[in-house]
Amino acid sequence: MKIVTKLADGRELIYYTTGETGVRAPADRRPLGPAAARSEVRRDMVTGDHVTIAAHRQDRTYQPPPGECPLCPSRDGRLSEIPADDYEVVVFENRFPSLAGETGRCEVVCFTPDHDLSFADLSAGRARLVLDAWTDRTAELSALPQVRQVYCFENRGAEIGVTLQHPHGQIYAFPFVTPRTAKMIGRAARHRAETGRNLFEDLLAAQRADPVRVVLAAEHWTAFVPYAARWPYEVHLYPNRRVPDLTALNEAERAEFPGLYLELLRRFDRLFAEPGQDAQASPTPYVAAWHQAPRGERELALHLELFTVRRAAGKLKYLAGTESGMEAFVNDVAPEAAARRLREVAS
């Protein structure tokens, strides 16, 4: 079930609920003026890439103390971005969006009202509700005339650059096809022309046939470390049936996803823990990125890419000049070794 309401400045807010929590949708009592975000999308003449200019984001909230978190429920007289005093999953328009109006839309997804949890701490039922919210927002945002591609993602950890520590993710509705997606589409088109087959179907079949880099294999999903992984620990999670986006998953695929995804996240947290140490003592920073086909694209396969910038306990991978300047990645961890380690830390 979802309840749609408005914040004081006119931004949309949506409560998603399974019925576990008696959700109310009280009015936002903050004295906010109308939302007025301005951004501009420019095209790089040399590369053809799109760059978004969003100067208003310089003033966004940055690392507030827990008692001032804008993503916690409104309680004890403190008003936040979420007027209700409790919730399960909430989505709302970002107050400091990179994209707004004709340039697209940015939304925040709050996974839990508990400030001190992470996605890995959620129940399977709550993780499924997040999946349902991602799916619903993908359908709604894809229907907007200015939107070409919907991107659901989570950044976790200060090392990644997270400005709010409350467990949350974001959704970007782009008015263009992102550069990484464009590269994938180009490769898929060439593969189709050369072989008559789909690139992603062949990729997944090869991983399952030779599972040296497979981390988890289930009836409806497969998780593996890619052959040419760019990040120290990087896992790609594919549905075994090729679909373009989250809206095309069937019920069996949706039902199996939460358990597998939660297991992957928990393994990531155990990667660098010392024997006997609580994995949450030094939680692994990560990015979890859903790759969905842009509107009208038929070759790209839905998949999730999960990776961390931590290469060893106490050590981060910083982008070197070859990587940040030339996009030529160098990985210090062999993909086969990363897959082996991720199998070793299974629950």
Residue list, annotated binding site: 69, 72, 115, 166
Pair 32, 92: CB distance under 8 Å: no
Pair 198, 242: CB distance under 8 Å: yes
CA distance 347 to 332: 26
Pair 8, 35: CB distance under 8 Å: no
Name all contacts of 32-37 with Cβ < 8 Å and 24+ positions apart: 32/7, 32/8, 33/9, 34/9, 34/10, 35/9, 35/10, 35/11, 35/93, 35/95, 35/100, 37/96, 37/97, 37/100, 37/101
Is residue 168 part of the annotated active site? The answer reads: yes
Q: Phi/psi of residue 53, each to 5°?
A: -100, 115
User: Among all chains, which residue has been given the structure tokens 């030094």?
Assistant: 282
Annotated binding site for Zn(2+): which residue ranges?
A: 69, 72, 115, 166
Catalytic residue (choose from 168, 191, 291, 303): 168
Helix, strand or coil, per DSSP, at residue 41: strand
Question: For 75, which DSSP code?
Answer: B
CA distance 110 to 137: 13
Sign of CA dihedral 247, 248, 250, 254: negative
242 CB-near residues (< 8 Å, 6+ apart): 198, 200, 201, 204, 301, 302
Helix, strand or coil, per DSSP, at residue 29: coil
* Residue 324, number of CB atoms within 10 A of its CB: 10
CA distance 153 to 98: 14
CA distance 239 to 131: 14
Query: Which residues belong to the active site?
Result: 168
